[in-house]
């Protein structure tokens, strides 16, 4: 493939991915806005925090595992949880679990490596999301969340209506509030979204898979940590990284390195990290990335030693 074809491929990939992310981000933000309009913040907070220490983290991780969205779509939901007053540690359990355990990536993993290895992957990542979220909360990292103001997020919405009010009178104000929430949030994160999509598309188009294999092959003792790091720039969405991982597995990359690649990429993809930079201070972003890499390496070593496949 010549340089012009490579540029065209990368450019086309950027347009498609950026377009999908923009539409998906606005859609998810709108749904979060509707959730805030119809379900009082106190009810959400009570659901996640009223069951004793540790239970909230389990529920946060479970909530994250039930969201069939790409990693970028996790951020609007995360901001909605933080805005509702959910404790930081529980929000982090959700943030860690959402891209790693959603039904899309689990179904694709099942097709790639089978039910049993996927179940082991799910157990490892779920336990990590629960425990690390709790530790970060207790360590006080919530103070590194930026004071981001979302215009329209707290617009007054009179939810009390006279008896016999029409359907329009009951629901249109809430829909309008949700729409304004989505547009306001989107304007704040658009530069980060486009930056992440651009970098990811460039690497997707210009970094050959053979180079990845040479750096993270089975004969390299550093294959697993290298694969975890490489996964971050490689990943854009599960539908992309899973097929690539299948090819790498066929070319001889060890299962441990492949799992580290998937977890590192899915958990700390460039689009997600750049979006997180809009709401987290640098120190917290660094801790988040290091945490994901740690999970990826531990999971990779577990798969490599046990030979689960």
pLDDT for 28 beyond 80: no
Q: Would you say residue 111 has pLDDT above 70?
A: yes
Q: How confident is the model at residue 191, as a pLDDT?
A: 80
For the segment 73-91, the average pLDDT, to the nearest whole number, is: 82
Residues 6+ apart with CB under 8 A from 193: 18, 21, 22, 25, 72, 271, 274, 275
DSSP per-residue letters across 190-225? HHHHHHHHHHHHHHHHHS-HHHHHHHS-TT-TTHHH
238 pLDDT above the threshold of 80: no
Residue 50's Cβ-side half-sphere holds a number of Cα atoms within 13 Å equal to 6
Overall pTM > 0.95 = no
- Backbone CA torsion sign across 156, 176, 65, 235: negative
Domain ranges of the chain: 3-306
Range of lowest pLDDT (43-52, 97-106, 175-184): 43-52
82-108 mean pLDDT: 85
What are residue 244's phi and psi, to 5 degrees? -65, -40
pLDDT of residue 141: 94
pLDDT over 60 at 71, yes or no: no
**Predicted pLDDT of residue 196:** 67
Given a cut of 90, whether residue 131 has pLDDT beyond it is: yes
Give the residue-averaged pLDDT of 150-163.
47
Which band of pLDDT confidence, cut at 50, 70 and 90, is reported for residue 143?
very high
């Amino acid at each position: 493939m010549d340089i012009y074809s490579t540029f065209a491929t990368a450019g086309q990939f950027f347009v498609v991915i950026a377009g999908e992310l923009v539409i998906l981000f606005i859609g998810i933000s709108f749904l979060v806005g509707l959730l805030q309009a119809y379900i009082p913040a106190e009810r959400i907070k009570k659901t996640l925090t009223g069951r004793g220490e540790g239970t909230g983290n389990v529920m946060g991780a479970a909530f994250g595992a039930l969201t069939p969205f790409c990693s970028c779509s996790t951020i609007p939901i995360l901001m909605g949880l933080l805005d509702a007053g959910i404790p930081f540690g529980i929000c982090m359990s959700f943030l860690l679990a959402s891209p790693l355990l959603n039904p899309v990536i689990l179904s694709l993993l099942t097709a790639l490596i089978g039910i049993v290895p996927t179940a082991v992957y799910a157990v490892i990542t779920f336990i990590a999301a629960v425990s690390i979220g709790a530790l970060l909360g207790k360590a006080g990292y919530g103070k590194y969340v930026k004071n981001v103001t979302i215009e329209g997020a707290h617009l007054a919405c009179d939810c009390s209506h006279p008896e016999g009010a029409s359907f329009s009178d009951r629901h249109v104000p809430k829909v309008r509030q949700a729409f304004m929430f989505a547009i306001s949030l989107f304007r704040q994160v658009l530069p980060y979204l486009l930056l992440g999509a651009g970098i990811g598309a460039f690497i997707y188009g210009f970094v050959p898979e053979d180079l990845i294999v040479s750096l993270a092959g089975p004969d390299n003792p550093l294959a697993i940590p290298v694969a975890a790091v490489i996964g971050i720039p490689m990943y854009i969405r599960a539908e992309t990284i899973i097929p690539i991982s299948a090819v790498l597995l066929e070319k001889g990359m060890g299962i441990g390195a492949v799992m580290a690649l998937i977890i590192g990429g899915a958990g700390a993809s460039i689009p997600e990290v750049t979006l997180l930079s809009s709401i987290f201070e640098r120190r917290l972003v660094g801790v988040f990335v290091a945490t994901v890499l740690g999970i990826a390496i531990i999971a990779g070593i577990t798969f490599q030693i046990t030979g689960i496949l």
